[in-house]
């Protein structure tokens, strides 16, 4: 029996991807089609007509291969550069002890949103809209660490959350692009957040972990504490910038830079044989250069980027780096040879390229597009509220039936 189905689009710098995920039993089956990206840079749509053509091509291929009709609404990944992320805290006080309802959660959430927009000022309020409200914890009176407070009793409800805002104009551009292809924009999901869902296993618990996504035009990262995001940032850097650096430093054509990168590219120059030489084509001429030079240039660029990430982390909170227990590296650039070696040297923490939440998909560049489905599924989790951007409805109160209510009653009194 077929269950839910979702259409997800990834308007990346190098590739435009369209994914259809169809639920069969408790699993999702994915069909993913890719077209070369045109008209997009660092996640920004700079040429609508070209972007439309590329997206149309990916969608047409997806339609051809899918056994079911595509939904007429789509989720779209949004790159970190169009977003801002903040930690917030808000509390509401009740006149007496009351059982917390979905509506109380909505009230505390809206209070947190309003408070954030008030603090950030008119510019942020006019140019950005809220796309994620990820609760870190709820506190009912003195009990903290609560994942879902609905049904508990107390006099005061506090929510700590991580709120992500996205540029209104970017979201509107995406909506317009989709409209031209007769699709409705159902929702946007931050690329790095989606990627974190795309690598989750049933027992995953990210604590003092950095999720680092590196693509063709974007480097994005989220720091997790107690399995919740506490910081998200973006650097406009990706494999495209490495190629441009090779073109500039070696004075080669784009095609030649791509060939050198693909054939000899590696992130850790100390692992490259110093004696080996490679041929570089300059039109009609060919010149021999030490192979280590290609790697040294890539190494230099990546080292700068990793150091920038370190500076951002330590400026925010010294503990982020000191307690860093490991990095999950995702995105197409994570497939570069020895990139984990370089990252481990710089961050002084273990770096892994994780497998995806759906084991049949092995390409780590697909973690964001696959992760969107896991993110959507997580929205209906009653045990923990994973994103309460949309107001919760009454159905949230019917969680778990009599025994769950009894258990909550017992935990409230002990
Ligand atoms: N085996 C590999 N070795 C090195 N680099 C690779 C490898 N495979 C892919 N890449 C790089 O990864 C890039 C694509 O990554 P990805 O698909 O994550 O980016 P994107 O989603 O198109 O861009 P972005 O999200 O940054 O806008 C390619 O442009 C390529 O340079
Ligand atoms: Mg991408």
Q: Which atom of ligand 1 is nearest to the CA of 10?
A: 21
According to DSSP, residue 76 is labeled E
pLDDT in tens, 167-214: 999 999 999 999 999 999 999 999 999 999 999 999 999 999 999 999
What radius of gyration, in Å, describes the C-alpha atoms of the chain? 23
Whole-angstrom distance, CA of residue 212 vs CA of residue 22: 28
Return the closest-CA partner of residue 312 out of 240, 243, 195, 230: 230
Report the share of the chain in percent with pLDDT over 90: 90
Instruction: Please say whether the beta carbons of 18 and 33 come within 8 A.
Output: yes
Which pLDDT belongs to residue 394?
87
Q: Which residues pair with 167 in a beta bridge?
A: 128
pLDDT band for position 44 (cuts 50, 70, 90): confident
Ligand 1 and 12: CB distance under 6 A: yes
Which pLDDT belongs to residue 396?
82
Distance between Cα 332 and ligand 1 center (Å)? 3
Question: Could you give the angle at the alpha carbon of 15 between the alpha carbons of 10 and 21, nearest 5°?
Answer: 40
Distance between Cα 309 and ligand 1 center (Å)? 19
Ligand 1 and 215: CB distance under 6 A: yes
With b meaning 16 or more CB within 10 Å and e meaning fewer, what string describes 214-232? bbbbbbbbbbbbeebbbbb
Domains of the chain: residue spans and CATH:
2-81+169-197+366-378 (3.30.420.40), 83-165+381-413 (3.30.1490.110), 221-354 (3.30.420.40)
pLDDT band for position 408 (cuts 50, 70, 90): low
- The CA-based diameter of the chain, rounded to the nearest angstrom, is 84
Whole-angstrom distance, CA of residue 129 vs CA of residue 166: 5
Q: How far is the first Cα of the chain from the last one, in angstroms, to the nearest whole number? A: 44
Tokens of 382: 């009653």
Return the closest-CA partner of residue 388 out of 143, 135, 174, 98: 135
Ligand 1 and 267: CB distance under 6 A: no
Q: Which residues pair with 225 in a beta bridge?
A: 228
> Distance of CA 176 to CAs 18, 52, 243, 331, Å?
17, 10, 31, 27
Q: Is 122 exposed, middle or buried (0-12, 13-18, 19+ CB in 10 A)?
A: exposed
Average pLDDT over residues 144-158: 97
Distance between Cα 239 and ligand 2 center (Å)? 11
pLDDT in tens, 231-286: 999 999 999 999 999 999 999 999 999 999 999 999 999 999 999 999 999 988 99
Which pLDDT belongs to residue 1?
53
Which pLDDT belongs to residue 410?
62
Whole-angstrom distance, CA of residue 70 vs CA of residue 299: 43
pLDDT over 80 at 399, yes or no: no
């Amino acid at each position: 029996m077929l269950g839910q189905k979702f259409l997800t689009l990834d308007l990346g710098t190098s590739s435009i991807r369209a994914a259809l995920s169809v639920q069969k039993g408790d699993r999702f089956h994915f069909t993913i089609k890719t077209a070369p990206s045109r008209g997009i840079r660092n996640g920004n749509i700079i040429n609508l007509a070209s972007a439309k053509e590329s997206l149309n091509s990916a969608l047409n291929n997806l339609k051809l291969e899918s056994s079911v009709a595509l939904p007429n609404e789509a989720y779209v990944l949004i790159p970190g550069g169009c977003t801002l992320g903040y930690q917030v805290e808000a509390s509401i006080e009740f006149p007496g002890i009351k059982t917390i309802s979905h509506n109380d959660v909505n009230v505390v959430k809206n209070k947190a949103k309003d408070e954030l927009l008030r603090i950030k000022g008119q510019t942020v309020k006019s140019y950005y809209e809220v796309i994620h409200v990820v609760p870190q914890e709820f506190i009912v009176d003195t009990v903290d660490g609560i994942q879902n407070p609905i049904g508990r009793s107390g006099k005061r409800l506090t929510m700590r959350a991580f709120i992500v805002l996205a540029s209104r104009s970017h979201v509107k551009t995406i909506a317009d692009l989709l409209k031209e292809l007769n699709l409705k924009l159902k929702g946007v999901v931050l690329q790095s957040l989606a990627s974190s869902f795309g690598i989750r296993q049933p027992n995953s618990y990210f604590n003092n972990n950095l999720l680092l996504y590196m693509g063709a035009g974007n480097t994005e990262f989220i720091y997790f504490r107690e399995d919740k995001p506490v910081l998200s940032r973006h650097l406009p850097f990706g494999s495209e910038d490495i190629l441009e650096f090779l073109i500039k430093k070696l004075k080669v054509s784009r095609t030649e830079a791509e060939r050198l990168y693909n054939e000899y590219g590696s992130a850790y120059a100390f692992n490259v044989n110093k004696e080996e030489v490679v041929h570089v084509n300059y039109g009609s001429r060919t010149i021999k250069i030490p192979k280590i030079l290609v790697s040294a240039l890539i190494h230099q660029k990546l080292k700068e980027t990793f150091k920038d990430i370190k500076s951002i982390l330590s400026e925010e909170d010294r503990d982020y780096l000191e307690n860093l227990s490991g990095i999950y590296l995702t995105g197409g650039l994570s497939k570069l040879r020895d990139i984990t070696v370089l990252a481990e040297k710089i961050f002084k923490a273990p770096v892994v390229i994780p497998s995806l939440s759906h084991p049949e998909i092995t390409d780590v560049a697909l973690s964001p597009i696959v992760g969107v489905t896991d993110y959507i599924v997580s929205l209906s989790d009653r045990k923990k509220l994973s994103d309460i951007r949309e107001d919760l409805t009454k159905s949230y109160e019917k969680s778990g039936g009599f025994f769950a209510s009894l258990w909550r009653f017992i935990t409230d009194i002990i």
